[in-house]
Amino acid sequence: MNRNKVVRAELDQLMRESLLDNATHCRLSALYPLGHWDWRSLGRWFLIFGAVAAAAGAVISLRDVFVPSLWHLAVLLALVTGGMFITGWRLRKRSWPWSCRTAELLGGFALIGLSFVLGMIYSTGSGNWPALLLIDLVMLLVLSYALNNILLLTLSAVVFFSWFGGVTGYSSGWNAYWFGMNYPLRFLVASTFIALVGLLHLKAELGPLAAYRSFSKVWISFGLFLTEMALWLLSIFGNFAEIDGPLHEAGAGELAIFNLAWAALNLGLVLAGIRQSYRMLRGYGVTFFIIQAYTLFFTRISEHLGWLASLMIAGGSALGLALWLEKQRRERREDVPS
């Protein structure tokens, strides 16, 4: 991450902590314009992607030449898990932070694989695979904070997504996941709670959780993503309250309530992001506000206009939006003093 981006992130954080007023924040931010391309950030993502891809390739190659028993596979995964965390510890001592976090991330993946192999070895025939993910979730959360690894926390969020959808489908007997319309309202409640935990985490980072200053972004971002996705589905189909009943035909009033709630959320995110200088909130609000507009257009209006007129309107509006955003970006760059 380049120096100006680091400084801008710190200024944004001070703004959210009410240590800078808006005028001072704007004046100081103008002194640190962002560059055209962040090569170091790109390299960090290539490091993570390369490590995960190389590990996946190694596993596939090993499977082609060697078919281990479950016990052999469990021992191998245990060795890989321990080896990755030991490698992370050594890289941490050498002050290679992102290489260290990436090695620990691979250890987290191996840990998930180990839990499932042990689950198959000691299976009682219940088929309760979400329970294994819950165990993984607890261990990964503990490791995330014990090792101060934001990548492991991100993996924990993915595991929670899989576990919550899985346990909902498993306990209901529907054997379907979230995108099978498996109670999106439950995800809305859970995601709201996660986002609130993220806000509390952000406040606690001023005191007892100061060592985990960036972790709140993962909590807040994950909670907002699930909230947005749940409201997206609810705004189209309404709330599926019955699994075994007939297809749920949501009324206009029900869909209007969910659409208004979704629009209010995105408007609130944009205003909060502007007021607190929190670009992530603005990004979520603007992005999903646009998604909502296009969703309403294609589900409620386009069928009355025909496919040709609908595509022309949708494409033209997208092109106009892109040009307007580019104009705004150029004007902001020109306003920054050299």
Q: What is the pLDDT of residues 20-34, one digit of tens each?
A: 777 777 777 766 666
Q: Are residues 159 and 261 in the same domain?
A: no
Residue of 18, 7, 2 lying closest to 203 (CA atoms): 18
- Residue 122: inside a domain: yes
How many domains is the chain partitioned into structurally?
Answer: 3
Is residue 310 in some structural domain?
Answer: no
145 plus 58 within the same structural domain? yes
The better pLDDT of the pair 137, 283 is held by 137
Which of 141, 168, 195 represents a domain boundary (last residue)? 168
**Nearest partner of 168 among 155, 186, 192, 191, judged by Cα:** 186
Asked if residue 322 is part of any domain, the answer here is no
Query: Does 151 lie in the same domain as 111?
Result: yes
In a domain, 176, yes or no: no
Q: Where on the phi/psi map is residue 242: left (φ > 0), alpha (ψ -120 to 50), or beta?
A: beta
Residue whose entry in the numeric block shows the structure tokens 């980072």: 205
* 85 and 194 housed in the same domain: no
In a domain, 188, yes or no: yes
CB 106 within 8 A of CB 143: no
Last residue of a domain, which of 138, 168, 198?
168
Find the angle CA(295)-CA(299)-CA(302) to the nearest 5 degrees: 105
- Which residues have C-beta within 8 Å of that of residue 202, sequence separation ≥ 6? 16, 216, 220
Residues 68 and 140 in one domain: yes
Q: What is the pLDDT of residues 115-147, one digit of tens each?
A: 999 998 888 877 788 889 999 999 999 999 999
Same domain, 55 and 129: yes
Cα three-residue angle 315-324-275, rounded to 5 degrees: 120
Q: Taking the model in full, what pTM does it have?
A: 0.73
**Rounded CA gap, 168 and 187, in Å?**
10
- 97 and 1 in a common domain: no
Q: Tell whether 113 and 199 lie within a shared domain.
A: no
Please give the pLDDT value at position 3: 61
| 98: amino acid identity, one letter | W
Report if residue 131 sits inside a domain.
yes
Tokens describing residue 253: 């009033």
Domain limits for position 196: 183-305
Is 173 inside any structural domain?
no
The verdict on residue 159 lying in a domain is yes
Token representation of residue 56: 């996946």
Assess whether 188 and 79 both reside in one domain.
no
User: Do residues 296 and 188 both lie within one domain?
Assistant: yes
Mean pLDDT, the chain, as a whole number?
79
The last residue of one of the domains, among 116, 139, 168, is: 168
> Which among 338, 8, 53, 17 is positioned nearest to 202, based on CA atoms?
17
Q: What is the pLDDT of residues 182-227, one digit of tens each?
A: 577 888 889 999 999 999 998 898 889 988 988 999 999 999 999 9
